[in-house]
Amino acid sequence: MERATRYSKKREAILAAIQSTRCHPSAEWVYQRLKPDHPDLSLGTVYRNLALFQANGTIHSVGVIQGQERFDGDLSPHSHFICNCCGQVIDLPGVTPKAGQDRAVSRQYGLKVQHCELTFHGLCPDCIQQEPFDL
Amino acid sequence: MERATRYSKKREAILAAIQSTRCHPSAEWVYQRLKPDHPDLSLGTVYRNLALFQANGTIHSVGVIQGQERFDGDLSPHSHFICNCCGQVIDLPGVTPKAGQDRAVSRQYGLKVQHCELTFHGLCPDCIQQEPFDL
DNA sequence: ATGACTGCAAAGACTTTGCATCTTT
DNA sequence: AAAGATGCAAAGTCTTTGCAGTCAT
């Protein structure tokens, strides 16, 4: 038997915060973002709800970047670029893995592929500018 | 001026440990692995050397899996499958992103792509077997 | 009322770091 | 001898969790 889920104003606000930004937020970011309107919000609640959203597939994890886990509320197929310098995550709509590659891998290796992600790493426009030229 | 690097028996052993396994080890794994032969090895040294290897490109990070960062000493182009259940990382030789996609992304988005990775998530053969069938 | 949700603060897990000591060159 | 590398333990970060009080149904 699975645990029932009730309505919660803060849960709603946490999800809305994630879904209304393209910055791929961390728990701390969500907390700081909502703190002004929800002065009694606690970081523990943010973490608990992020775990819940992840478990039921409402959001995805982008992975741990510079020590903090980052989340994405956009479930449409797209890839990410992660800046090695500032940690910014940039969406790459339209960029996808080869079609059918997940099924090919499943068959070929006897795995059950549930998810596939393509990620690019490097320097974002901002950090390219700030790079020293004599290196 | 950059800092010189001297020889160190432990550094050599740490690198050898990573390069001689396909398990994509964590710092703790390397530490436990070398402890018998190097009783005075400390975890701090493992971390410091892992950071060094990563900085000079001798090893890659596979990312943080279930709380621990995992590393890969195999620099040849290949992809990874990560088990959502046990955290095991499996190499997928021959599985690669679309050719030229990194350059396309660089151009299209004004980024400087340095690295691109394709990762699959799901259940490994071991965990498929242990899955309950009535779910 | 019942069971879920939350705040708070403590605990946990992993990683980093300061400093004295030991090694390599 | 100089500068790097290490052990040890303390400190740092991010995340999880226990418990008592609060809220939704």
The CATH superfamily assigned to B76-135 is Ferric-uptake regulator, C-terminal dimerisarion domain (3.30.1490.190)
Cβ pair A60, A75 in contact under 8 A: yes
Q: What is the pLDDT of residues B44-58, one digit of tens each?
A: 999 999 999 999 999
Whole-Å CA distances, A50 to A18, A34, A90, A110, B119: 10, 14, 21, 31, 22
Which residues, listed in sequence order, are joined to residue A129 by a DSSP beta bridge? none
**Nearest chain A Cα distance for residue B96, angstroms:** 9
**Nearest chain A Cα distance for residue B55, angstroms:** 12
Q: List the single residue in A81, A105, A115 with the smallest CB-CB distance to B105.
A: A81
Q: What is the pLDDT of residues B14-47, one digit of tens each?
A: 999 999 999 999 999 999 999 999 999 999 999 9
Check if A93 contacts B (Cβ < 8 Å). Answer: no
Tell me the C-alpha distance between A68 and A93, whole Å: 24
User: pTM for this structure?
Assistant: 0.94
User: In chain B, what are the domain boundaries?
Assistant: 1-73, 76-135
Long-range contacts of A62-68 (CB under 8 A, 24+ apart): A62/A24, A62/A89, A63/A119, A63/B63, A63/B64, A64/B63, A64/B64, A65/A89, A68/A26, A68/A27, A68/A28
Q: What is the pLDDT of residues A72-89, one digit of tens each?
A: 999 999 999 999 999 999
Q: What does CATH list as the number for B1-73?
A: 1.10.10.10
- For residue B122, the tally of other CB atoms under 10 A from its CB is 20
Q: What is the pLDDT of residues A43-75, one digit of tens each?
A: 999 999 999 999 999 999 999 999 999 999 999
